[in-house]
A = this chain, B = another copy of it.
């Protein structure tokens, strides 16, 4: 939250150079996590993150930078927790790396300390969360790595895509667009994500699969209350052309997901509530949770939450069909 500014390069910069700087800050957390369906119900979690913010400006007024988050959780290995590089100017902002998916215009906040994934149910079909569902045949939806965002007054327009980072074969197309309109402390947004797979095999068979998602977002801060809501609609299509039999099999399905998050702030204390539901091809997922956060000052916040999650999607988290989750801990920012 708070950034530690390292002395700028003024001392060593050669003449004619604009200032470029590296700012170091950090975050840490320690606490407990509970899951009613775990063989071991209660576990501990601790982590520390080194945050590196690099920024500069060209002679022509373009700003650029990079943000690295280097995390060590439970005294384990050194890991990357999102790294982004960007350049920005009158033309907008172009980012690469751990960019936001443009259709996730305004995701919901999670409930709890480290997070109980209450928001994941509402967000099941938007952004890279769609990739967590094992429902698809060949679609392998990962995070986007290129984002272009243009802001004009109250309107923000974004487009993002997953572009190949190697020269190997690539049968996936994965992009999204989003627009957000801000008025006062409130906003509305519209997102669209398009994910498709298409391959012609050596035996001349053709396989096609697509998931298209339209999403709506609204929210705002009204006095002590902060509200955010979202709705999304998934349209899924699959076809397989068998060349030897000259036959095409088709299949389609649809899904809907929606959710809300409300937070109420009283001085140092913030209470929050989240609820969501998602349906896909007969399966249903629901979540409900409440949480509290107490600001101890100096960058320390005590947080906790409890939630009930019903998960019928066959997703990568392999949750039990219905489970109670809770967490409690303290988060630090340096």
Interface string of A1-42 (1 = CB under 8 A from B): 011111111011110111111101110111000010111111
Judge whether B6 and A4 touch: CB under 8 Å: yes
A5-B4 Cα distance, complex, nearest whole Å: 11
CB contact under 8 A between A6 and B9, given known A80-B76, A330-B64 = no
Judge whether A87 and B299 touch: CB under 8 Å: no
A131 CB to nearest B CB, Å: 15
Residue total for A at the interface (Cβ-Cβ under 8 A): 92
Judge whether A300 and B4 touch: CB under 8 Å: no
Of B17, B62, B86, B296, the residue contacting A62 (CB under 8 A) is B296
Complex interface: stretch among A50-58, A119-127, A218-226? A50-58
12 contacts between A and B (CB under 8 A): A3-B9, A5-B11, A19-B298, A22-B50, A26-B54, A29-B85, A40-B167, A41-B167, A43-B167, A48-B67, A48-B68, A59-B297
Task: From A43, A96, A146, A298, name the one whose CB has the most chain B CB atoms within 10 angstroms.
Answer: A298
Closest to A18 in B: B298
Q: For the complex formed by this chain, how many copies does it contain in all?
A: 3
Judge whether A298 and B85 touch: CB under 8 Å: no
CB contact under 8 A between A332 and B56, given known A145-B46, A169-B39 = yes
Of B40, B70, B146, the residue contacting A78 (CB under 8 A) is B70
A residues 163-213 touching B (CB-CB < 8 Å): 163-170
Set of chain B residues within 8 Å of A165, measured between Cβ atoms = 43-45, 74
Judge whether A30 and B87 touch: CB under 8 Å: yes
CB contact under 8 A between A77 and B79, given known A6-B6, A46-B96 = yes
Set of chain B residues within 8 Å of A143, measured between Cβ atoms = 75
Set of chain B residues within 8 Å of A5, measured between Cβ atoms = 7, 9, 11-12
A255-B17 Cα distance, complex, nearest whole Å: 46
Judge whether A56 and B21 touch: CB under 8 Å: no
Interface string of A299-315 (1 = CB under 8 A from B): 11000000000000000
A296-B3 Cα distance, complex, nearest whole Å: 27
A42 CB to nearest B CB, Å: 8
CB of A271 closer than 8 Å to a CB of B: no
Of B22, B26, B75, B78, the residue contacting A98 (CB under 8 A) is B75
CB contact under 8 A between A145 and B84, given known A58-B296, A62-B296 = no
A306-B170 Cα distance, complex, nearest whole Å: 24
Judge whether A96 and B44 touch: CB under 8 Å: yes
Set of chain B residues within 8 Å of A14, measured between Cβ atoms = 2
